[in-house]
Amino acid sequence: MSTQAKQPMTMTQKILAAHAGKDFVAPGEFIQAKLDLVLGNDITAPPAIKEFTKLGQPAVFDNKRIALVPDHFTPNKDIQSAEQCRQMRVFAHDQSIENYFEIGEMGIEHALLPEKGLVVPGDVVIGADSHTCTYGALGAFSTGIGSTDMAAGMATGLCWFRVPEAIQFVLKGKLSEHVSGKDVILHIIGKIGVDGARYQSMEFVGEGVASLTMDDRFTIANMAIEAGAKNGIFPVDERTKAYLENRGKRPSVIFEADQDAVYAQVIEIDLAAIRPTVSFPHSPDNTRTIDEIERMEQEKGAITIDQVVIGSCTNGRLDDLRIAARYLKGKKVAKGVRVIIFPATQKIYLDALREGLIEIFIEAGAIVSTPTCGPCLGGHMGILAKGERAVATTNRNFVGRMGHTESEIYLASPAVAAASAVAGKIANPERA
Amino acid sequence: MSTSGRAFKFGDNIDTDVIIPARYLSTADPEILAKYCMIDIDDTFAGKVQKGDIMIGGRNFGCGSSREHAPIAIKGAGVSCVIAETFARIFYRNAFNIGLPIIECAEAARKIADGDEIRVDFESGKIENITKGETYQAQPLPPFMRDIIDGGGLIASIKKSRGEA
């Protein structure tokens, strides 16, 4: 490596520079980058296929580097959804798309792709789904784009980007019991706001990273978009390497931020001080700690609930289900509360079954569903009626997101969600 | 190139779930999506908006989901331009890619009131408020973005660069 006055770069800058064939890229610069993977789902791929067809190009740039996952309105919720899935299936067949995952082998895209080893460190990935930023947990640059960008990506294997500035989050200490990655990201979003990292990269570093499980990291990177970020990214360490063993389909390329890289902002986060955190309606940055909620309860009464949803691309992984099971084991969900649990992939479902987690859920009075994005975005499988209230481990609590415009969503960790399911109100997992 | 119309004003953090709720995403047909545009925040909007009208947002307009159906619904409803204080990044690129002009201008976003008559000149970035007799100046588009718009959207500009247009 050259030692002459080399301009320092963040991890994201380095990955983008390498994929743009440049030694250096500056924040604000527009570049064309080579893509390692292009993703679409049953809602976003059909318009992309239509745009791709307009180009009149016979084949996609690489049939191994496109992933198509029917996960949103599946199992097909109505005739129109079935037609959208069919369009994607026919396209996948005609184009010999290697990574098309039919019902039975599919999962929620952002849990499925890492699980299948389709994303490796150093990749540049675009997906026509905003939570594509999840793969930053693996030390990849990944970001959500729309259907037209997906079409262009499938045709050319390239995408234009404006190189983002970065916010560095220096994580210190270790999470306390009952607290997980979801509390970390809700805490951060509450602190910086839903546009606090708009157009920027969120780079997580520091000695605290080592103690976070891969599932914690996936959850944290997943919700970077809820702070407006372009991507969230973690350094590659021993845990990442262990996760990729016997899994990664391509060789990893490990990038590290330069010591003297320039950040728009540096924010220290003491993991040990993070409390169970809940986002109140109707914005992910409207956060309260469980202690504030308990005080509210004493003053104004408990926040009673009608439904609990545990799952999604944010919190439907095996660790999340293990955590939920811990609070549901040997308990019954509160009378009148509907508890819906969604393992994010077929493999997670099977692993949970073999570990006895599914039995714990069913005995507690929860239902367990096949993998789908359905309830998270108000598609199907758990829509809320007027005036109903849900605690969900999902990622958005916007007006009408999960059903009626006068329903309410409280975003929380699997621990808070499971403890709340038993209590029938938003509850502190420390007391469960 | 310019456009003019009546302003429909919305607030901060208008997310793509309220622009077009997921329950209508079983299609990407602009005419159908247009009927439900903004329904969860203003169910009278789709009935009132006229061709050429202008949508005004506050900070972080278009945050949330990457659904391109959101700018498609807005464009399908007849809106000729969205002016906001700031835009969420995926919405920003989607709007350009499908050919819906959008302009970041904090002053215009704050001062324009619901129902004001607005004229926008895309080349100069000048926004005229005919009702109030005010003028606001937006930043010109970065050259990279202008190339996409001039090319007629992303797909058309790719065709053009391949010498097919």
Q: What is the DSSP string of A306-352?
A: SEEEE-HHHH-SHHHHHHHHHHHTT--PPTT-EEEE--SBHHHHHHH
Residues of B in contact with A72 (CB under 8 A): 25
Please name the residues between 80 and 119 in chain B that touch chain A, using a CB distance below 8 Å.
86, 88-90, 93-94, 97-98
Per the listing, tokens 């809320």 go with: A384
B65–A80: do the CB atoms touch at under 8 Å?
Answer: no
Residues of A in contact with B102 (CB under 8 A): none
A399–B41: do the CB atoms touch at under 8 Å?
Answer: yes
User: What span, in angstroms and rounded, lies between the C-alpha atoms of A258 and A385?
Assistant: 51
Q: What's the gap in Å between the CA of A238 and the closest CA on chain B?
A: 32
A228–B144: do the CB atoms touch at under 8 Å?
Answer: no
At B105 the pLDDT is 97
B17–A148: do the CB atoms touch at under 8 Å?
Answer: no
Residues of B in contact with A134 (CB under 8 A): none
User: What span, in angstroms and rounded, lies between the C-alpha atoms of A428 and B4?
Assistant: 54
Q: Which 3 state secondary structure label does DSSP give A142?
A: strand
Choose among B15, B59, B98: nearest Cβ to A148: B98
Q: Does B158 touch chain A (CB under 8 A)?
A: yes
Candidates A71, A68, A66; CA nearest to A108 is A71
Query: Which ipTM did the prediction report?
Result: 0.94
Residues in a beta bridge with B96: none
At B143 the pLDDT is 77
Give residue B112's identity as a one-letter amino acid code.
Answer: I
Residues in a beta bridge with A384: A403
Residues 6+ apart with CB under 8 A from A147: A40, A44, A45, A46, A47, A48, A51, A128, B28, B68, B94
A146–B21: do the CB atoms touch at under 8 Å?
Answer: no
At B57 the pLDDT is 98
At A1 the pLDDT is 47
Which of B152 and A388 is assigned the larger pLDDT? A388
Band of pLDDT at residue B164, cut at 50, 70 and 90: low
- pTM confidence score: 0.97
**Would you state the structure tokens that stand for residue A33, as one six-digit string?**
């980058």
Q: List C-alpha distances in Å: A284 to A173, A227, A233, B16, B106.
A: 25, 8, 20, 14, 24
Q: List C-alpha distances in Å: A144 to A92, A121, A130, A131.
A: 21, 17, 4, 6
Choose among B68, B144, B164: nearest Cβ to A148: B68
B86–A78: do the CB atoms touch at under 8 Å?
Answer: no
pLDDT per position in chain A (432 positions), as tens? 444 568 999 999 999 999 999 999 999 999 999 999 999 999 999 999 999 999 999 999 999 999 999 999 999 999 999 999 999 999 999 999 999 999 999 999 999 999 999 999 999 999 999 999 999 999 999 999 999 999 999 999 999 999 999 999 999 999 999 999 999 999 999 999 999 999 999 999 999 999 999 999 999 999 999 999 999 999 999 999 999 999 989 999 999 999 999 999 999 999 999 999 999 999 999 999 999 999 999 999 999 999 999 999 999 999 999 999 999 999 999 999 999 999 999 999 999 999 999 999 999 999 999 999 999 999 999 999 999 999 999 999 999 999 999 999 999 999 999 999 999 999 999 998
